[in-house]
Structure 1
Amino acid sequence: MSENPRAFAPGFLFGAATAAYQIEGAAFEDGRTASIWDTFSREPGAVLHGDTGDVACDHYHRYPADVAMMRELGLDTYRFSVSWARVRPDGGAVNQKGLDFYKRLVDELRENDILPWLTLYHWDLPQAIEDRGGWTARSTAEQFTEYALSVHDALGDRVQNWTTLNEPWCSSFLSYTAGIHAPGRTSVEDGLLAAHHLLLGHGQTVRALRGRDASLDLGITLNLTVAEPVDAEVPADVDAARRIDGQFNRWFLDPIFRGSYPADIVADLRAVDPDAVVALERATRPGDFEAISTPLDALGVNYYHGELLSGHPRPGGGDPHQTAGQQRATRSPFPSKEGIHWVERGLPRTGMGWEVQPEGLTRLLVHVANDYAGDVPLYVTENGAAYDDDVSAGGEVADVERTEFLRAHVAATLDAIEQGVDVRGYFYWSLMDNYEWAWGYAKRFGIVRVDYETQQRTIKQSGAEYARIIAARSV
């Protein structure tokens, strides 16, 4: 604990986050059918060790105990996602058993004075919809809104805070261009079309939900980075940072807040794959950007690390984004990457190989608030670190590095608030160890350890520290 603790304002929300496919298990129970991750995880070499989310943390059956654990930690709020494949299997009719699970979960949260924070899409598209084109098809945006309204039919009287999409950069470029995430496609055109239809589905859904209930708090969550040139006086370095900022941040921030894609990145992409840009232009219809830029009540910011960039190869260079899909790491998630080089700066690294840069979170929040969000409140909806846990003979987990990471990033959030940014909440990723996408169960982000053989949960040192921060409401 700091010798001079700084306090958060009353009403600031401390929470933790998870995603349906990563924790629920019960993959084919009570009417749930395959999502793209059920399919992708079974493809040879797609996921480390061939792991699947069939059981994961068995949260579907253990949610009452998990909510009790949240209460023990003192969480104000819990961010979870709803499985489209559970609620509308195969993209078809509503599955009442699937909806009933989320009713029970939300009721359990409310009974424990934990605010439910619902995410409609965290990457688990029904496989049947993918078979009909997935996010490259405009019809998927329409089906997404239909699915969202089905969830609202069941939970609209119980849930105030709704997020449409989690990290559309991942569910478009990582998924349809890089092949690192499900469905594993490797096409620049498919990535661009997927990004557009994800954003269109977001905008249409915000409109539809607001039309039903103007009192809802509606938003989207974007994973963003701080892209810096090694030398601000070297044009090639500046250009490398511009391109990553454009492809990673501005490709989503600009249409949401400014009603268009960034012209410089469109030009970059046209030079790399002109047919892909033509396909995107043909897919963009009048009124699309008006829908995409529908005003928000909240913007979620996911931050894990920044990046130092050069236009020339340098000693110690690497690409942190390629580590996320180990077997497919040679495929770039960026449609336009030639001449971009990642440079190490000697910072500590997490178990994912990502640099630990808390002050980057402060700068990112200031930048997003000043240049985009304006009066829209910000929430840090994901921030966390994977490390290899050292479990004592008695079962305790003294995860010193994660504890320091958590404390430093909560403090960085408060730094942004003290600089005038309207940040209203912080969600640690993740509540508990879980299925970490292409890494399977090999990477642990949780403040709660999960023994996957017994499903025993153990609050780590980082979880105890987070509970202390929440109770003190200071860092």
Structure 2
Amino acid sequence: MRKTLYKHRIKKRTAANQMVKPKNTPFIYGVATSAFQIEGNLEADGRTPSIWEPFCNIKDKVFEGHTGEIACDHYNQYREDVSLIDWLGVDAYRFSISWSRIFPKKHQANPEGIKFYLDLISELEQRGIKPCVTIYHWDLPIWAQQEGGWTNRKCVDWFLEYATYLFEKIGDRVTLWFTHNEPFCSGILGHTLGLHAPGYESVKEGFLAVHHLLLSHGKAVKRFREMQMIGEIGIVLSVTPLYPDTSSQADYKSTRFADAVSHRLFLEALFKGTYPKEVMTLVNRLTRGRLKLHPHDMETISEPCDFLGINYYTRGLIKTKVGGIGYSAGKPRVPVTDMGWEVVPYALKAMIERIRSEFTQIPIYITENGAAYPDFLERDFRIHDEQRVLYLKRHLEMVHAINATGGDIRGYFLWSLFDNFEWQEGYSKRFGLFYVDYKTLKRYPKDSAYFYMDYVREQKRKNNEQMP
């Protein structure tokens, strides 16, 4: 039998460790986006650049040099976009706020920047759609980066100032708050692997960025409690369950280390107040022991949250490189999406059970799940994306199967509402329920949009029939 980090999770759960969703707690269906990926209008109403503008201009970093300058023009079309969310019939909309719009300069809040989000929230409220806000989705203001960005401990205080301002201005109108989206991407992809902005390649800077991201999360949660906000607050982690490519001991060891960097670095910090030994050993060796954490940092990072957000798309296969130094991805064994990601709904179940067994029993939201496929606008202005429909159907069924065994998943946010700027992939990959013609910026519902609309309506009908 191949060794796996998840094999012991198939054991039957006992009554003592099952989480039972409280009666009459409605399951939330939603859609998700992020500011830089859809808003465009990067200089409108006083906004200043984020780290992604210069990153897009670095040769070969972003597909064909694509930028977020126009994106989906959501900044101008938000009313029409909210009407599309309403048409879907979902309960909630998860969106992020552009830090550069709110604080275009250090310590200088921008009334015009917050006005856009106040208007967006009003539009959502008028249609009965719950606003769910991601405070940080990777677009650090350039003024902060010029002073070291997330490698500078001062960035924690700048983030707290920004978060506090949002709590003050819209805190009484937001259902769910997400402090950070995928700190693995901001920290590791952005500072160690160079795949995301700011594009650095340093283990030390990657760890510092991760530590400060998590520290800023903990401080924001504390501030949220102090201000007695009415909503709930948590963080969003990316999960890609990892499996060894072969049954070899080398692949198993590589998988354990990859898991430490991808998952345990965040889960252990948030829920156990520690970092994995493997990671700290590497960091201490590379920095010759000169990197010291401040007293009480881990206590702050592990400040209790109301929920955990999970972004899930696929699993990962880990193969040790020739010579036993480092690792790479193994070849897919099942059908893949346009991103080259395997379609494996059962790996989500394995990951949720692992989180429940090893880390936390707090409620979970699936904050992103979806698939990119090469969509085409037909002559009848329809987009027949059968593969995406099947992907969504299988994953939604898996979410409910997990809940049937006590998983306590409280909601599902589909990624994404629109095709959009997909970071280093530019506009080459399409995840949306709505096809965006990037020449005209017109939106067209895909077959998957009709599927999701019908699915949500049917689930609500069933729930209403079950109500006493």
1:414 aligns with 2:400: yes
The CA distance in 2 between the partners of 1:341 and 1:50, in whole Å, is 26
Q: Secondary structure at the match of 1:64?
A: helix
Q: Secondary structure at the match of 1:473?
A: helix
> Please, which moves more after superposition, 454-463 or 223-232?
223-232
Cα offset for 1:72? 0.3
- 2:274 — aligned with what? 260
- 1:310 — aligned with what? 319
Q: Secondary structure at the match of 1:30?
A: helix
- 1:459 — aligned with what? 445
Q: Which amino acid aligns with 1:385?
A: A
- 2:59 — aligned with what? 44
- 2:338 — aligned with what? 351
The CA distance in 1 between the partners of 2:277 and 2:316, in whole Å, is 22
- 1:427 — aligned with what? 413
Q: Which amino acid aligns with 1:347?
A: V
Q: Secondary structure at the match of 2:44?
A: coil
Do 1:117 and 1:160's aligned partners in 2 also have CA atoms closer than 8 Å?
A: yes
Cα offset for 1:341? 3.7
Cα offset for 1:372? 1.1
The CA distance in 2 between the partners of 1:437 and 1:228, in whole Å, is 26
Q: Secondary structure at the match of 2:444?
A: strand
Gaps of 5+ in 2: 1-22, 463-468
1:92 aligns with 2:78: no
- The alignment of Structure 1 onto Structure 2 pairs a total of residues equal to 439
The CA deviation string for residues 417-456 of structure 1, in whole angstroms up to 9 with x for no partner, is 1121110001111111000111111111101111111111
1:188 aligns with 2:203: yes
Cα offset for 1:313? 5.6
Q: Secondary structure at the match of 1:89?
A: coil
Q: Which amino acid aligns with 1:238?
A: Y
Cα offset for 1:414? 1.1
The CA distance in 2 between the partners of 1:288 and 1:18, in whole Å, is 31
Cα offset for 1:411? 1.0
Q: Secondary structure at the match of 1:253?
A: helix
Cα offset for 1:270? 4.2
1:365 aligns with 2:352: yes
Q: Secondary structure at the match of 1:302?
A: strand
TM-score, normalisation: structure 1: 0.89
Q: Which amino acid aligns with 1:434?
A: N
Cα offset for 1:221? 0.1
- 1:62 — aligned with what? 77
The CA distance in 2 between the partners of 1:199 and 1:135, in whole Å, is 10
1:300 aligns with 2:300: no
1:17-166 equivalence runs, <5 A: 17-166=32-181
- 1:235 — aligned with what? 249
Do 2:314 and 2:342's aligned partners in 1 also have CA atoms closer than 8 Å?
A: yes
Q: Secondary structure at the match of 1:90?
A: coil
1:244 aligns with one of 258, 269, 288: 258
Cα offset for 1:16? 0.8
Root-mean-square deviation (CA), in Å? 1.8
Cα offset for 1:369? 2.1
The CA deviation string for residues 260-279 of structure 1, in whole angstroms up to 9 with x for no partner, is 101133224445x244xx35
- 2:376 — aligned with what? 390
The CA distance in 1 between the partners of 2:200 and 2:254, in whole Å, is 25
Do 2:131 and 2:176's aligned partners in 1 also have CA atoms closer than 8 Å?
A: yes
Cα offset for 1:345? 4.2
Do 2:171 and 2:230's aligned partners in 1 also have CA atoms closer than 8 Å?
A: no
The CA distance in 2 between the partners of 1:146 and 1:355, in whole Å, is 40
The CA distance in 2 between the partners of 1:77 and 1:313, in whole Å, is 47
The CA distance in 1 between the partners of 2:237 and 2:86, in whole Å, is 27
Q: Secondary structure at the match of 2:105?
A: helix
> Please, which moves more after superposition, 341-350 or 90-99?
341-350
The CA distance in 1 between the partners of 2:413 and 2:459, in whole Å, is 14
Cα offset for 1:229? 2.2
Identify if the C-alpha distance between structure 1 residues 370 and 339 changes in structure 2 by more than 3 Å, giving closer, same or farther: same
Identify if the C-alpha distance between structure 1 residues 312 and 189 changes in structure 2 by more than 3 Å, giving closer, same or farther: closer
The CA distance in 2 between the partners of 1:205 and 1:142, in whole Å, is 10
Do 2:204 and 2:283's aligned partners in 1 also have CA atoms closer than 8 Å?
A: no
The CA distance in 1 between the partners of 2:122 and 2:197, in whole Å, is 31
The CA distance in 1 between the partners of 2:139 and 2:74, in whole Å, is 16
The CA deviation string for residues 325-365 of structure 1, in whole angstroms up to 9 with x for no partner, is xxxxxxxxxxxx93424222421111111111111111111
The CA distance in 2 between the partners of 1:338 and 1:81, in whole Å, is 38
Q: Which amino acid aligns with 2:335?
A: P
Gaps of 5+ in 1: 1-7, 315-336
- 1:4 — aligned with what? none
Q: Secondary structure at the match of 1:185?
A: coil
Do 1:162 and 1:219's aligned partners in 2 also have CA atoms closer than 8 Å?
A: yes
Q: Secondary structure at the match of 1:46?
A: coil
> Please, which moves more after superposition, 206-215 or 254-263?
206-215
Q: Which amino acid aligns with 1:395?
A: F
- 2:455 — aligned with what? 469
The CA distance in 1 between the partners of 2:52 and 2:392, in whole Å, is 29
Cα offset for 1:10? 5.9
Cα offset for 1:460? 0.4
Cα offset for 1:370? 2.3
Do 1:79 and 1:116's aligned partners in 2 also have CA atoms closer than 8 Å?
A: yes
Cα offset for 1:230? 3.7
Do 1:73 and 1:466's aligned partners in 2 also have CA atoms closer than 8 Å?
A: yes
The CA distance in 2 between the partners of 1:313 and 1:414, in whole Å, is 41
TM-score, normalisation: structure 2: 0.91
The CA deviation string for residues 358-398 of structure 1, in whole angstroms up to 9 with x for no partner, is 11111111211222122x10000011111110221121000
Cα offset for 1:84? 0.2
1:224 aligns with one of 234, 239, 257: 239
The CA deviation string for residues 112-157 of structure 1, in whole angstroms up to 9 with x for no partner, is 1111110000011000100000000000011000000111121012
Q: Secondary structure at the match of 2:370?
A: coil
